[in-house]
């Protein structure tokens, strides 16, 4: 392995940019056991690595400009998530640990603990984060005249008289957006890919107007660019006041051509997989929905929402706001998956999986299991066969959990089918099964507060009843029975598809109530994982160098 300096420009300038937006480069101390030390230990520091052997000198210079554009987006996001970053850090005094944790969380609220303040010096997180004045409530919001306040790319601020005023993003964050636009335009001039240059220039224009339709369309048609750049509104999950406003983030990405080819090959099998669903023909008459274009990337740099708290391993773009998105691309981050696999899943495996089966927990299986979740989302049933309308309408508040359960279990059903077709040659089926089992301990540590968490527990408890795995109370480890696992996957797939097809609200309620919880045995294992100081997520050591393979 050798080191490759990604910049041929001034190293000093690059490093100053990185230091401005990154947590302090310090290892988590192990000699103390303060509350903040334990919180920091929930994040494992990882270096973002990627294969840069195919990049030219021009790409290195392009990266330099894109990094500065991403840093401007990072400044913008600080205003959305908290406010003045420097003011916050200055208030925290000389405590380097609490400052480092604030940088990870982009504020004084712990994203791994329901946004609770991690220091008594700060009040609970405002429902509207930085999108609204901290003392504003819903009544104040609805009293504002006009409909502009409902737009997803607007904020509400108080003017000099204390009156509430609605501002579009490009005005509220004018300084940061202008800075990002300047560096994007400079970078575009260095592009050796005409389509990517056109996209960057259009994206820069769109940032100035908050209308991203044109650049979204150009991005979806990009095929040959090795470097990719995503900057703009990412998710609307942080506005808890009216659940509308979007947070800004940025990615600098490297397209992983080989791994993308493998995924596209599997996507072509959708019609076959739909015909082989484990239900009667009346439940599988629908054609597979058009699958999102799936592209695999390695992340070179994260900023803003993309870098806050738990790190994303995938994202569906463009975002769906009021406008209709007729096409989309699901992007997955291979090197982020690898980091979470190595720093989190492997240590968990060594603690809770039967010693003889630990060899079956492999990254390739983890990757396949993750990707097939997305593929499964395109298969199954959208309309009931019992004249109850759509599955969503029939299942009501249970729809999201049942959908997550369907995607969760069908991915393993399809992986089993592909193994039988000899389409997955680099791993054994038992590798996928044991990895699947180990991953529940990684994901369930975030609780059962959302649909995915509840679906994870339904699957876990169902498999336990079917003896797909057994718990050894002496070694406190789990052993997978691959034959019974295969049968359990097929029977649960059949059950959930029939619930959807029949629009069976009562059965959905029953399975959620009876199986959607964490039982004491599993809870004790989660405590063991926590006591072993296995991190819950990762924090990036992003810099001007990456490993070249």
Nearest-angstrom CA–CA distance, 184 and 191: 11
Distance, in Å, from the CA atom of 4 to the CA atom of 57, rounded to the nearest integer, reads 11
Answer yes or no: is 456 within a domain. Answer: yes
Q: Please count the other Cβ atoms lying within 10 Å of the Cβ belonging to residue 320.
A: 11
Instruction: Indicate whether 205 and 280 sit together in one domain.
Output: no
Q: How far, rounded to the nearest angstrom, does the alpha carbon of residue 287 sit from its chain's CA centroid?
A: 28
Are 236 and 192 part of one and the same domain?
yes
Same domain membership, residue 358 and residue 415: yes
The answer on 436 and 288 residing in a single domain is yes
| Tally of structural domains, the chain | 2
Nearest by Cα to 307 from 28, 32, 537: 537
| Same domain? 198 vs 286 | no
Tell me: do 218 and 366 sit in the same domain. Answer: no
Residue 414 belongs to a domain: yes
Are 165 and 262 part of one and the same domain?
no
Alpha-helix runs per DSSP H in 56-95: 57-81, 85-91
Q: Do residues 128 and 276 both lie within one domain?
A: no
Report in angstroms the alpha-carbon separations of 164 from 132, 137, 153, 173. 9, 12, 16, 17
In a domain, 315, yes or no: no
Residue of 305, 365, 361, 363 whose CA lies nearest to 339: 363
Q: Do residues 236 and 260 share a domain?
A: no
In order along its 549 residues, the chain shows pLDDT tens digits of: 333 343 333 332 333 333 334 444 444 444 456 889 999 999 999 988 777 777 777 787 899 999 999 999 999 999 999 999 999 999 999 999 999 999 999 999 999 888 999 988 899 999 999 999 999 999 999 999 999 999 999 999 999 999 999 999 999 999 999 999 999 999 999 988 899 999 999 999 999 999 999 999 999 999 888 899 999 999 998 999 999 999 999 999 999 988 998 888 887 788 888 888 999 999 988 876 655 688 999 999 999 999 999 999 988 888 764 443 457 888 999 999 999 999 999 999 999 999 999 999 999 999 999 998 888 877 888 899 999 999 999 999 999 999 999 999 999 999 999 999 888 888 899 999 999 999 989 888 877 777 888 999 999 999 999 999 999 999 999 999 999 999 999 999 999 999 999 999 999 999 999 999 888 888 899 999 999 999 999 999 885 544 333
Same domain, 398 and 486: yes
Within-domain flag for 505: yes
- 512 inside domain: yes
Q: What is the pTM of this model?
A: 0.86
Domain that holds residue 474: 256-292+328-518
Query: How far does the chain reach from its first CA to its final CA, in angstroms?
Result: 6
- 363, 227: one domain: no
In a domain, 316, yes or no: no
Task: Let me know if residue 398 belongs to a domain.
Answer: yes
Kindly tell me the sign of the dihedral angle through the C-alpha atoms of 439, 440, 444, 450.
positive
Determine the Cα–Cα distance for residues 244 and 272; give it in Å rounded to an integer.
39
Are residues 453 and 505 both part of a single domain? yes
Whether 125 is in a domain gets the answer yes
């Amino acid at each position: 392995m050798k080191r490759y300096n990604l910049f041929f420009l001034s190293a000093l300038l690059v490093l100053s940019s990185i230091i401005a937006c990154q947590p302090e480069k310090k290892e988590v101390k192990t000699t103390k056991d303060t509350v903040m030390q334990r919180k920091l230990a929930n994040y494992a520091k990882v270096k973002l690595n990627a294969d840069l052997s195919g990049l030219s000198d021009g790409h290195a210079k392009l990266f330099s400009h894109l990094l500065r554009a991403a840093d401007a987006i990072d400044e913008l996001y600080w205003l959305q998530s908290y406010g003045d970053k420097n003011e916050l850090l200055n208030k925290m005094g000389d405590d380097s640990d609490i400052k480092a944790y604030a940088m990870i969380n982009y504020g004084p609220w712990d994203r791994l603990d329901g946004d609770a303040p991690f220091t008594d010096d700060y009040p609970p997180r405002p429902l509207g984060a930085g999108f609204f004045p901290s003392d504003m409530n819903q009544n104040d919001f609805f009293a504002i005249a006009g409909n502009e306040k409902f737009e997803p790319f607007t904020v509400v601020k108080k003017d000099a008289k204390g009156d509430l005023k609605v501002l579009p993003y490009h005005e509220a964050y004018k300084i940061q957006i202008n800075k990002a636009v300047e560096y994007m335009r400079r970078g575009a001039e260095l592009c050796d890919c005409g389509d990517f240059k056109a996209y960057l220039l259009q994206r820069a224009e769109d940032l100035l107007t908050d209308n991203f339709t044109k650049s979204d369309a150009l991005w979806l048609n990009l095929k040959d660019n090795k470097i990719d750049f995503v900057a703009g509104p990412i998710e609307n999950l942080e506005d808890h006041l009216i659940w509308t406003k979007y947070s800004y983030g940025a990615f600098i990405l490297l397209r992983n051509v080989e791994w993308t080819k493998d995924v596209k090959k599997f996507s072509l099998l959708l019609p076959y997989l739909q015909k082989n669903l484990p239900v009667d023909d009346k439940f599988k008459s629908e054609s597979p929905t058009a699958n999102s274009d799936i592209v695999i990337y390695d992340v070179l740099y994260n900023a803003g929402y993309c870098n806050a708290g738990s790190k994303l391993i995938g994202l569906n773009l463009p975002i769906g706001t009021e406008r209709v998105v007729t096409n989309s691309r699901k992007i997955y981050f291979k090197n982020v998956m690898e980091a979470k696999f190595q720093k989190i899943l492997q240590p968990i495996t060594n603690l809770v999986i039967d010693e003889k089966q630990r060899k079956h927990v492999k990254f390739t299986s983890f990757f396949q299991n993750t990707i097939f979740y997305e593929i499964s989302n395109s298969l199954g049933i959208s309309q009931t066969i019992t004249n109850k309308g759509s599955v969503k309408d029939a299942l009501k508040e249970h729809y999201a959990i049942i959908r997550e359960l369907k995607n969760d279990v069908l991915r393993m059903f399809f992986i089993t089918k592909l193994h039988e077709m000899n389409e997955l040659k680099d791993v054994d089926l038992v590798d996928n099964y044991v990895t699947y089992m180990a991953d529940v301990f990684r994901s369930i540590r975030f609780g059962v507060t959302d649909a995915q968490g509840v679906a994870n527990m339904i699957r876990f408890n169902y498999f336990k009843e079917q003896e797909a795995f057994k718990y050894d109370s002496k070694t406190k480890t789990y052993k997978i029975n691959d034959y019974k696992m295969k049968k359990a996957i097929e029977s649960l797939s059949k059950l959930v598809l029939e619930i959807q097809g029949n629009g069976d609200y009562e059965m959905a309620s029953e399975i959620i109530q009876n199986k959607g919880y964490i039982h004491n045995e599993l809870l004790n294992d989660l405590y063991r994982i926590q006591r072993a100081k296995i991190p819950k997520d990762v924090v990036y050591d992003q810099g001007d160098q990456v490993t070249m393979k």
